[in-house]
């Protein structure tokens, strides 16, 4: 029966052409990224060459990137609090970056999961909602920096206070975002599920959760940068180790090269995080991008 309805087979080159087109688009995007960073480095180098920037305070990129071998020993492989530098290799640099990244990652994960859970509880449990919503709304505008002493009181020094800071930086915002997302789920979706006999739990798992995830991911991505800022503050302000601690040590020892070298690492790490989260978003929430492409 289906012989006449069968569409003509696609020419075999179509898929190949699409891959080529994608590659070209990504190549162009990469070129613009390079041009963007290149022009900043160019301007900086120009300022240094013309003598506008003090080489002691604002060393040019070729200086602070060029003398990396002198900076390496500040990056200790062990995640030791208050380390004054027993490292000396790129492995040390990598491990410091990874320790800081780990704190951001764990803090984000905890924040995401717990804020989702609390947001859902607020909406589904009337008593809990009425009890906690005013508190959440009150805590939300408090700057994470104000929580730093609390973090130290509660967790002393080490990984935990830094993770706590990341967590607190996104938690309240994400709770409020979760509530907003739940309220925006179209009533007709919920009606469809209920009419088909979905239990409360099934409505949540098969309708509410997939409907709110895209918006939550966007909020998480926006707050990723806040998380990076906070983790550095936590590390710098006596919590102990990691990139933030190295920036603070560089400040105390008046090592401008080390400041900018570490800033470069922070920028790169933040960029990689954002890209990874973006990739995850596209993989998990495939229908959003596709719907946008269809103009819906």
Partner 1 sequence: MTMKNQKDQPAIECRGVGKTWNTDSAKPFVALQDINFEVQAGEFVVLLGPSGCGKSTLLYLLAGLEQATHGTLLSEGQAITGTSPQRGMIFQEAALFPWLNIRDNVAYGLQLQGVAKAEREQRGLDLLARVGLNGFALKRPSELSGGMRQRAAMARALALQPKVLMMDEPFAALDIQTRAKMQNYLLDLWQQSGASMLLVTHSIEEAIGLADRIVVFTARPGRIKTIVPVKLERPRNPRDPAFHALHDQLAELLADEVDRAFAEQEAAGAAAV
Binding residues for partner 1 (CB under 8 A)? 5, 186, 188-189, 191-198, 202, 206-207, 210-211, 285, 287, 290-291, 294, 296
Cβ at position 207, least distance to partner 1 in Å: 7
CB nearer to partner 1: give 140 or 290.
290
CB nearer to partner 1: give 229 or 288.
288
What is the enclosing helix (H) or strand (E) of 273? helix 256-284
Cβ at position 296, least distance to partner 1 in Å: 4
Query: Alpha-carbon distance 156 to 148, whole Å?
Result: 11
Cβ at position 213, least distance to partner 1 in Å: 8
Please check whether residue 122 is in contact with residue 129, taking contact to mean a CB–CB distance below 8 angstroms: yes
CB nearer to partner 1: give 71 or 219.
219
Query: Alpha-carbon distance 282 to 60, whole Å?
Result: 38
Cβ at position 185, least distance to partner 1 in Å: 11
Contacts of 255 (CB under 8 A, 6+ apart): 249
Terminal Cα distance for the chain, rounded: 34
For 41-66, give the DSSP string: HHHHHHHHHTT-S-TTTS--HHHHHH
* 57-66 long-range contacts, CB within 8 A, separation 24+: 57/256, 58/256, 59/256, 59/257, 59/260, 61/260, 63/257, 64/256, 64/257, 64/258, 64/259, 64/260, 64/261, 64/264, 65/261, 65/264
Chain centre to alpha carbon of residue 153 = 26
CB nearer to partner 1: give 10 or 252.
10
Measure Cα distances from 41 to 28, 48, 150, 260 in Å.
20, 10, 39, 12
Chain centre to alpha carbon of residue 76 = 24
Nearest-CA neighbor of 169 among 102, 218, 115, 247?
Answer: 115
Cβ at position 87, least distance to partner 1 in Å: 47
Please check whether residue 214 is in contact with residue 285, taking contact to mean a CB–CB distance below 8 angstroms: yes
CB nearer to partner 1: give 24 or 282.
282
Tokens 């719907």 belong to 291
Cβ at position 188, least distance to partner 1 in Å: 4
Cβ at position 66, least distance to partner 1 in Å: 50
Cβ at position 280, least distance to partner 1 in Å: 16
């Amino acid at each position: 029966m289906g012989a006449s309805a069968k569409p003509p087979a696609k020419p075999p080159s179509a898929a190949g052409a699409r891959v080529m087109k994608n590659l070209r688009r990504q190549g162009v995007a990469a070129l613009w990224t390079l041009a963007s960073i290149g022009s900043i480095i160019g301007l900086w180098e120009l300022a240094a060459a013309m003598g506008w920037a003090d080489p002691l305070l604002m060393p040019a990129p070729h200086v602070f990137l060029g003398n990396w071998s002198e900076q390496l020993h500040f990056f200790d492989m062990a995640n030791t609090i208050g380390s004054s530098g027993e490292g000396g290799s790129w492995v040390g640099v990598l491990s410091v970056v990874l320790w800081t990244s780990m704190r951001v990652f764990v803090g984000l994960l905890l924040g995401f999961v717990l804020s989702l859970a609390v947001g859902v509880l607020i909406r589904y449990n009337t008593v809990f909602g009425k009890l906690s919503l005013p508190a959440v709304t009150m805590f939300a505008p408090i700057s994470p920096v104000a929580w730093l002493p609390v973090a130290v009181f509660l967790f002393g020094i080490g990984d935990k206070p830094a993770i706590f800071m990341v967590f607190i930086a996104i938690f309240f915002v994400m709770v409020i975002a979760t509530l907003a997302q739940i309220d925006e789920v179209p009533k007709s979706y919920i009606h469809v599920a209920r009419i088909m006999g979905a239990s409360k739990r099934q409505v949540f798992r098969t309708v509410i959760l997939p409907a709110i995830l895209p918006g939550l991911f966007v909020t998480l991505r926006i707050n990723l940068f806040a998380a990076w800022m906070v983790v550095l503050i936590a590390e710098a302000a006596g919590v102990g180790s990691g990139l933030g601690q190295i920036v603070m040590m560089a400040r105390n020892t008046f090592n401008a090269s080390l400041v900018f070298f570490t800033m470069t690492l922070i920028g790169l790490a933040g960029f990689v995080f954002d890209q990874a989260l973006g990739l995850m978003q596209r993989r998990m929430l495939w229908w959003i991008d596709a719907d946008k492409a269809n103009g819906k």
